[in-house]
Structure 1
Amino acid sequence: MTDRRPLLFTLAGIVATLVYFGAAEFIAGAFSAASAPLLILGQTIIPLVPTAMIKAAISVFGTNDKLALVITLVIVGAVLGGVIGRIGLNRRTLSFVLLIGLGILPVVLLLSTGGTILDSIPALGGVALGCGAYMGLIRLGEGAQAPAGRSTRSDQRIGADQSLATDQRLGTDRRAFFGLAAGLSAVGVAAIAAGQSASILARNAAGAVTKLVLPPPATSAPEIPAGADLGIDGLAPIMTDNEDFYRIDTALIPPAVDASSWSLRIHGMVDEEVTITMAELLDLPLEEHRVSLTCVSNEVGGDLVGNATWLGYPVRELLKRAAPTSDADMVLSTSDDGFTASTPLEVLTDDRASLLAVGMNGEPLPRDHGFPARLVVPGLYGFVSATKWVTELEVTRFSDKDAYWTKRGWATHGPILVASRVDVPRAGVHVSPNEDGQIVTAGMAWAQHVGIAEVRVRIDTGDWHTADLSEELNTDTWRQWRCAFDDLEPGTHTVTVRAVDEDGNVQISERRPAIPGSATGLHERQFVVD
């Protein structure tokens, strides 16, 4: 009879791991999301992941990169659980020690970063239930496998009338094993999903409870001109809703920062250290500015870019209070979760709308986007400027301090390059000429803090045509473009776009990856004319 115990023990280890994660995530809902093992492991792993893997993850998963990490952790944990379960076939005690060690690893990590024993309860509860599931399954697994041995002809005659009963018993035990394994796996996966959902709900509830009542701006942004949005179906709106605004950061779960106790400290190479509370910040004459933000990980034609109306106080005014010394050239901003970004001091002290922002599109900052305060800096990619949940500004020098991504080989300054993309037609769609006999192409272009001067479009390898541009909000925001073509032959065509900024810089056509400084190349799409 085939020995199925290796398979059964492996499955027992996998199921035990799923039970562990599920139970721990579910229990964490009664404590805090920060005590969930998946969060602890994820936050530990993110800083250790090579840049190339981070780039690939963002490229493939976009704003779902954190969900992908959670799923990957569960899969890797299940694989390790399977290996440990297989070890238990011959070394039962060792398998239990390894399972317990795997389960308490998040506890060790948590305690090493300032966590408490109370915070360890979810992981410890998961360990207990996971080991209990493993013990129960291996007992069933052993019962589902007939012992191997040498039988004589006499044994065979004596056992002939018992073989049917033995097969029935073994079959019943195997069915019990697989039924229990399937049931526990389903419960574990459901508990993981429930725990993740509870974290999201708790995060949203916390964001709603802690919302600020924002004062009216002392300086309001100008009205949006009617011609700023071309009104073409499939074209991104000129203003991005908060819920649609991209989110890329290093936090698996955004920090829950209490606005009433929040403060910003400005220190380092300054004549006078400054600390400002939220109450003090809201009493200042706040300004409204429309600024587009762009992620350096945005691929050519990607959607990691958005435009919002921000409410805040000019950073240059806060730095003026601190009086940076003449030899300083960088501001190292620090987030509540420990993330840091390096921003050139001159960018934060010139006349651009660099803000310590508290509002986004007429509302307090959503928690995902930095509540209660974040930096918004026109003209720089977010990884060197747009620190969320900001708590510190250290005036220093690039030669003296490295930021989070700088340590990983990314650029230090991150100026935004001129870029454009095609939104209409969508890739691969069939289109027909409009009532004027034209095929309309449209998209977005941006060159923050410089402004878009011109957009050029071509079909296949034909001549470049100058597109019509929407009215400009300001040089810190993106613009829509539209270009119509007559008499396109039926069949497959490729539309390509390139932009030119107000300084005369033409969008770089050479393809290069986003890391370390920015992706370059011209965006193109294929479509079919019927």
Structure 2
Amino acid sequence: MTKLRNWLKGPPALSALAGVVAAAVVLAVAELVGAFFTARAAPLLALGSTFIDFTPPWLKDFAIATFGTNDKAALFVGMGLTIALLACVLGVVAYRRWALGVLGVLFMGAVIVASVVTRAGVEPIDAVPSVLGTLAGLVVLRRLLAPLHGMKQWPEAPADAAPGNPATSRRRFFAAAGITAAAAGIAATGGRLLGAARSNIAKAREALQLPAPAKAAPAVPAGVQSAAAGVPPWITPNNEFYRIDTALSVPEINAEDWELRVHGLVEEEVRLTFQDLLDADLIESHVTLTCVSNPVGGNLAGNAKWLGLPIREVLRRARPKDGADMVLSTSIDGFSASTPLEVLQDDRDAMLAIGMNGEPLPLEHGYPVRMVVPGLYGFVSATKWVVDLEVTRFADSKAYWTERGWSERGPIKTMARVDVPKSFAKVPAGKVAVGGTAWAQTRGITKVEIQIDNADWVEVELSTEASLVTWRQWSYEWDAAPGAHYIKVRATDGTGEVQTDQRADPVPDGASGWQSVMVTVE
């Protein structure tokens, strides 16, 4: 223990701490300066986005399965720990060989700059915050290492290094490190507040008045909600709607500047402004969206009322050429999705949505405009912050996740879920309410069955069906006997096809299988 305490008080450990403080300065200065640039110029966001771009499908699937909608928070924590570790190493390297330390810091700065300038919608000048942050970090690292010179002679000590009192040098170091860390915290907070103050997108969204639809959504029939208490509401509130996307920083787009370009294999290129959408004949529709990463029994599905312009109307103006079979939609942050052309032209009311549950799209759900396409997983259809539609061919263009091993087309599979009781729940013996949700968008749900342990399958009570593109809830009153029991569930869609029991992972085209919930009856 004495040796450990002495080591922690010595130059190697303190130089590692100096590296961490210097790294904090890099990020803080970049955050402060970056308030005057695009949000995607922030080093952490750029590095995180680059990491996501190169994430293999199995790792993305693991992150979502493990952390769910907290996957981005987990990424930031992991990045923070990694940066801290690398900073420790660079601090020690700089302590022993200053020139090598400088090269290491400059290399890391170059990685950050490369991550920034390769982001979609970022200009070369947006690298300025990262460059200034890197230079500030080098200066701070040099200053923090100076007091350590008097504690122990370096293998290659600077010319101005002189032996001194170790205790005095240590106090000088901690004073400098503490002041610098505090200044970095203030700079980072100031940059965040300054950036928020300069952005009026949230206020503009709140002030936006949505037009009345030319075609309102049909009234929701009575009885759509499951009779079992605890089943999620039939309409998912905006703040509870799942969010899975590749954007670490929610794009802030001024609706007045937004423009959609429709081009490619078309007779006429079309450009739409947000005002064009406001002036158009908009429609409302209740649609359930599902993420392809949703595991069996997962909650990455939600139902909402959407307001928007049918995409078929836009394509009718553009007039796709013969041979085109796909529309590649692209977000302002570079994400892209491949949607079959015929799906966007049929009567399922795929739309350019501007409203969600009676209010403008929330920023994190695509404000000002996103795509909503019934019947397809989001990775091939639900592009948020959409700015480009290219009519093309599957043979000629690849979308973001298609390039990473996922399928080109993603029709949603029939799925049933037990919402109550939760797995591993303990319930009293007697009458137990069992309930859940099932979906098969564009086909509808005609039957849901459950199986208790190995008994026969029993048909449950279905709630009212609102439409073929929304989920359908169900309920069942179970006479539960004491002991451990397993509840399985399966659905039958409108074509008569029973949900398969064959287990499949989300990659490459969505999970499949029957959910099994273990419940203890006391």
Same-fold status (TM-score > 0.5)? yes
- Counterpart CA distance in 2 for 1:347 and 1:304 is 22
Describe the SS at the equivalent of 2:129. helix
Please say which of residues 412-421 and 68-77 is displaced more in the overlay.
Answer: 68-77
* Equivalent residue number for residue 451 of structure 1: 444
* Equivalent residue number for residue 485 of structure 1: 478
* Equivalent residue number for residue 405 of structure 2: 409
- Counterpart CA distance in 1 for 2:286 and 2:426 is 36
Describe the SS at the equivalent of 2:394. coil
Alpha-carbon shift at residue 342 of structure 1 (Å): 0.9
Describe the SS at the equivalent of 1:138. helix
- Correspondent of 1:460 among 453, 458, 463: 453
- Correspondent of 1:49 among 55, 59, 65: 55
Please say which of residues 500-509 and 276-285 is displaced more in the overlay.
Answer: 276-285
Instruction: Return the TM-score normalized by structure 2.
Output: 0.89
Describe the SS at the equivalent of 2:511. coil
- Counterpart CA distance in 2 for 1:381 and 1:425 is 27
Give 1 or 2 for the bigger CA radius of gyration: 1
- Counterpart CA distance in 2 for 1:315 and 1:499 is 31
Q: For residues 170-219 of structure 1, give each alpha carbon's deviation from its aligned partner in whole angstroms, at most 9, with x where no partner exists.
A: 345445545655675576578667866876x5698523314532210111
Matched, 1:422 2:429: no
Please say which of residues 132-141 and 303-312 is displaced more in the overlay.
Answer: 132-141
* Equivalent residue number for residue 155 of structure 1: none
Task: Give yes or no for contact 2:228–2:476 (8 Å, CA) kept in 1.
Answer: no
* Equivalent residue number for residue 348 of structure 1: 344
Please say which of residues 469-478 and 245-254 is displaced more in the overlay.
Answer: 245-254
Q: For residues 53-79 of structure 1, give each alpha carbon's deviation from its aligned partner in whole angstroms, at most 9, with x where no partner exists.
A: 122122222222222222222222222
Task: Give yes or no for contact 1:491–1:529 (8 Å, CA) kept in 2.
Answer: yes
Alpha-carbon shift at residue 7 of structure 1 (Å): 2.4
Report the residue type matching 2:64 in the other structure. Answer: I
- Correspondent of 1:502 among 494, 510, 519: 494
Matched, 1:387 2:373: no
* Equivalent residue number for residue 230 of structure 1: 226
Task: Give yes or no for contact 1:288–1:310 (8 Å, CA) kept in 2.
Answer: yes
Describe the SS at the equivalent of 2:354. strand
Alpha-carbon shift at residue 91 of structure 1 (Å): 1.0
* Equivalent residue number for residue 515 of structure 2: 523
Please say which of residues 395-404 and 270-279 is displaced more in the overlay.
Answer: 270-279
Report the residue type matching 1:133 in the other structure. Answer: V
* Equivalent residue number for residue 469 of structure 2: 476
Matched, 1:207 2:213: no
Describe the SS at the equivalent of 1:18. helix
Describe the SS at the equivalent of 2:284. strand
Give the alignment's Cα RMSD to 1 decimal: 2.8
Q: For residues 459-489 of structure 1, give each alpha carbon's deviation from its aligned partner in whole angstroms, at most 9, with x where no partner exists.
A: 2222211111111110100111111111x22
- Counterpart CA distance in 1 for 2:154 and 2:260 is 70
Give the unaligned 5+ runs of structure 1. 149-165
- Counterpart CA distance in 2 for 1:308 and 1:181 is 51
- Counterpart CA distance in 1 for 2:166 and 2:373 is 69
* Equivalent residue number for residue 108 of structure 2: 102
Describe the SS at the equivalent of 1:228. coil
Alpha-carbon shift at residue 10 of structure 1 (Å): 2.3
Report the residue type matching 2:488 in the other structure. Answer: T
Describe the SS at the equivalent of 1:79. helix
- Counterpart CA distance in 2 for 1:336 and 1:226 is 40
Q: For residues 498-523 of structure 1, give each alpha carbon's deviation from its aligned partner in whole angstroms, at most 9, with x where no partner exists.
A: 11111112112122210110011211
* Equivalent residue number for residue 158 of structure 2: none
Please say which of residues 236-245 and 74-83 is displaced more in the overlay.
Answer: 74-83
Matched, 1:310 2:334: no
- Counterpart CA distance in 2 for 1:347 and 1:226 is 30
Report the residue type matching 1:207 in the other structure. Answer: A
Alpha-carbon shift at residue 295 of structure 1 (Å): 0.5
Report the residue type matching 1:237 in the other structure. Answer: P
Please say which of residues 286-295 and 255-264 is displaced more in the overlay.
Answer: 255-264
Task: Give yes or no for contact 2:428–2:521 (8 Å, CA) kept in 1.
Answer: yes
Alpha-carbon shift at residue 497 of structure 1 (Å): 1.2
Shift in alpha-carbon separation, 1:184–1:513, aligned structure 2, 3 A? farther
Report the residue type matching 1:267 in the other structure. Answer: H
* Equivalent residue number for residue 282 of structure 1: 278
- Counterpart CA distance in 1 for 2:458 and 2:118 is 60
Task: Give yes or no for contact 1:265–1:273 (8 Å, CA) kept in 2.
Answer: yes
Task: Give yes or no for contact 1:203–1:256 (8 Å, CA) kept in 2.
Answer: no
- Counterpart CA distance in 2 for 1:448 and 1:473 is 12
- Counterpart CA distance in 1 for 2:409 and 2:254 is 31
- Counterpart CA distance in 1 for 2:404 and 2:227 is 42
Task: State the number of aligned residues.
Answer: 507
Matched, 1:135 2:142: yes
Task: Give yes or no for contact 1:469–1:479 (8 Å, CA) kept in 2.
Answer: yes
Describe the SS at the equivalent of 1:449. coil
Report the residue type matching 2:500 in the other structure. Answer: I
- Counterpart CA distance in 2 for 1:231 and 1:20 is 55
Report the residue type matching 2:481 in the other structure. Answer: E
* Equivalent residue number for residue 334 of structure 2: 338
Describe the SS at the equivalent of 2:88. helix
Give the unaligned 5+ runs of structure 2. 156-162
Report the residue type matching 2:35 in the other structure. Answer: G
Report the residue type matching 1:374 in the other structure. Answer: R
Report the residue type matching 1:130 in the other structure. Answer: G
Task: Give yes or no for contact 1:58–1:297 (8 Å, CA) kept in 2.
Answer: yes
Task: Give yes or no for contact 2:414–2:440 (8 Å, CA) kept in 1.
Answer: yes
Task: Give yes or no for contact 1:25–1:38 (8 Å, CA) kept in 2.
Answer: no
Please say which of residues 183-192 and 32-41 is displaced more in the overlay.
Answer: 183-192
Instruction: Return the TM-score normalized by structure 1.
Output: 0.88
Task: Give yes or no for contact 1:10–1:82 (8 Å, CA) kept in 2.
Answer: yes
Task: Give yes or no for contact 2:227–2:435 (8 Å, CA) kept in 1.
Answer: no
* Equivalent residue number for residue 152 of structure 1: none
Alpha-carbon shift at residue 447 of structure 1 (Å): 0.6
Please say which of residues 184-193 and 276-285 is displaced more in the overlay.
Answer: 184-193
- Counterpart CA distance in 2 for 1:234 and 1:109 is 45
Matched, 1:86 2:78: no
Matches within 5 A, 1:14-33: 14-29=20-35, 31-33=37-39
Please say which of residues 490-499 and 358-367 is displaced more in the overlay.
Answer: 490-499
* Equivalent residue number for residue 153 of structure 1: none
Task: Give yes or no for contact 2:30–2:133 (8 Å, CA) kept in 1.
Answer: yes
Task: Give yes or no for contact 1:300–1:421 (8 Å, CA) kept in 2.
Answer: yes
Alpha-carbon shift at residue 105 of structure 1 (Å): 3.5
Alpha-carbon shift at residue 438 of structure 1 (Å): 0.6
Please say which of residues 189-198 and 130-139 is displaced more in the overlay.
Answer: 189-198
* Equivalent residue number for residue 162 of structure 1: none
